[in-house]
Amino acid sequence: MTDAASKRRALAQRLRQRDFFVAPGVYDLISARIADAMDFACLYMTGYGATASYLGLPDAGIATYTQMADRARAIAEATSAPLIADADTGYGGLLNVHHTVRGYEAAGVSGIQIEDQEFPKKCGHTPGRKVVPLDDMLTKIKVAVDARQDDNFLIVARTDARTGMGLDEAIHRGQAFAEAGADVVFVESPESAEEFARVGAEIDAPLLANMVEQGRSPLLDGDTLTGYGFAMAIFPGAGFMTAAEALKRTYGYLQEHKTTKGNPQPLYSFEEMNRLMGFEEVWAFDKKWARE
Q: Where are the alpha helices (DSSP H) in the chain?
A: 4-17, 29-36, 47-55, 65-78, 94-106, 134-147, 161-165, 167-180, 193-202, 222-228, 238-257, 270-277, 279-289
Q: Please choose, from the candidates 91, 122, 112, the residue with its C-alpha nearest in 3D space to the C-alpha of residue 189.
A: 122
**Global pTM value:** 0.94
Average pLDDT over residues 103-117: 97
pLDDT of residue 31: 98
DSSP state of 224: H
Taking the CA atoms of residue 92, residue 94, residue 96 and residue 99 in that order, the dihedral angle to the nearest 10 degrees is: 160
Contact 76, 108 (CB under 8 A): yes
CA dihedral for 35, 234, 47, 146, sign (positive or negative): positive
pLDDT of residue 256: 98
Cα 286 to Cα 37, 191, 274, 277: the distances in Å are: 25, 56, 15, 16
**Is the per-residue pLDDT at 126 higher than 80?**
no
Contact 101, 144 (CB under 8 A): yes
Where does residue 139 rank: exposed (0-12), middle (13-18), buried (19+ CB within 10 A)? middle
172-210 residue pLDDT tens:
999 999 999 999 999 999 999 999 999 999 999 999 999
* Whole-angstrom Cα Rg for the chain: 20
pLDDT of residue 61: 86
**Is the per-residue pLDDT at 127 higher than 90?**
no
21-46 residue pLDDT tens:
999 999 999 999 999 999 999 999 99
pLDDT band at 104 (very low <50, low <70, confident <90, very high): very high
**Is the per-residue pLDDT at 1 higher than 70?**
no
pLDDT of residue 121: 77
**Is the per-residue pLDDT at 2 higher than 90?**
no
Among 108-122, 174-188, 216-230, the range scoring the smallest mean pLDDT is 108-122
Where does residue 26 rank: exposed (0-12), middle (13-18), buried (19+ CB within 10 A)? buried
pLDDT of residue 124: 65
**Is the per-residue pLDDT at 216 higher than 70?**
yes
**More confident site: 68 or 120:** 68
**Is the per-residue pLDDT at 292 higher than 70?**
no
Q: Please choose, from the candidates 76, 86, 97, the residue with its C-alpha nearest in 3D space to the C-alpha of residue 145.
A: 97
Whole-number Å distance between alpha carbons of 51 and 53: 6
Contact 122, 78 (CB under 8 A): no
Average pLDDT over residues 62-79: 96
Q: Per CATH, is 4-243 categorized as 2.160.20.10?
A: no
Average pLDDT over residues 222-239: 97
pLDDT band at 15 (very low <50, low <70, confident <90, very high): very high
